[in-house]
Amino acid sequence: MSAPGSAPRALEFDAADGSIGLGELPLRIGPTLTLAQARAGFAVLLQDSRDLGNGYQWLHLRGLQLQGVLAAVALCFHGQALSMLSIGVQLPGAPMEDGWPTQAAIDAEVAFMRRALAKALGRPLNAGRAGFEWGEAWAVFDPKGFMASSGLSYR
């Protein structure tokens, strides 16, 4: 998940403003981040990007870790402004079936993300959600997509 020869960069959360540091990179993910800044500042981590043609664009970053577990982050921009990000982790030994995570694997990821976000942000995610002045953190099961859904949204 990380570039050859490089260690994954740790996600470092700041609960006060909802920003996230990525190892030694000087630019932080946060509510004031623009699409142009993200493209330039995270180029080394950029896996791909998607323009949905409706004002929303996604940047997918790889080569990250959360509490020692491989992670990826997808940044969602509306226009030039960051509106939310999703975080996915690759838990070691997660059970798969026909190439897809099982319900047990999804439940384990949701539980891991609830613990990790609660620890990083200093607040439990009651019913999988926690509100902050800057926005919200969540870690829930998405029944429509049959997947774990975790991340931050900004006001």
* pLDDT digit string, tens, across residues 30-85: 999 999 999 999 999 999 999 999 999 999 999 999 999 999 999 999 989 999 99
Tokens representing residue 137 in the block = 């953190």
Strand partners, 61: 46, 73
For residues 5-31, average pLDDT:
94
H or E segment and range at residue 113: helix 103-121
- Asked whether 23 and 2 are in contact (CB, 8 A), the reply is no
Indicate whether 4 pLDDT > 90. no
Residue 1 lies in a domain: no
pLDDT at 5 (0 to 100)? 52
Contacts (Cβ under 8 Å, ≥6 apart) of 40: none
Q: What is the pLDDT of residues 101-152, one digit of tens each?
A: 999 999 999 999 999 999 999 999 999 999 999 999 999 999 999 999 999 9
**46 lies in a domain?**
yes
| Total structural domains within the chain | 1
Strands 81-89 and 69-78: antiparallel
Q: Does the residue 147 lie in any domain?
A: yes
98 domain-assigned: yes
Q: How many residues does the chain have?
A: 155
pTM assigned to the model: 0.92
Q: Cβ–Cβ contacts within 10 Å for residue 22, how many? A: 22
Distance CA 82, CA 91 (A): 27
Q: Which domain, by its residues, includes 110?
A: 9-154
Residue 16 CA from chain centroid, whole number: 18
Give a yes or no: residue 4 inside a domain: no
Domain for residue 28, yes or no?
Answer: yes
Residue 2 pLDDT level (bands cut at 50, 70, 90): very low
The reply to whether 62 falls in a domain is: yes
CA–CA gap between residue 80 and residue 35 (Å, rounded): 5
Q: For position 152, what pLDDT does the model report?
A: 98
Establish if 2 belongs to a structural domain: no
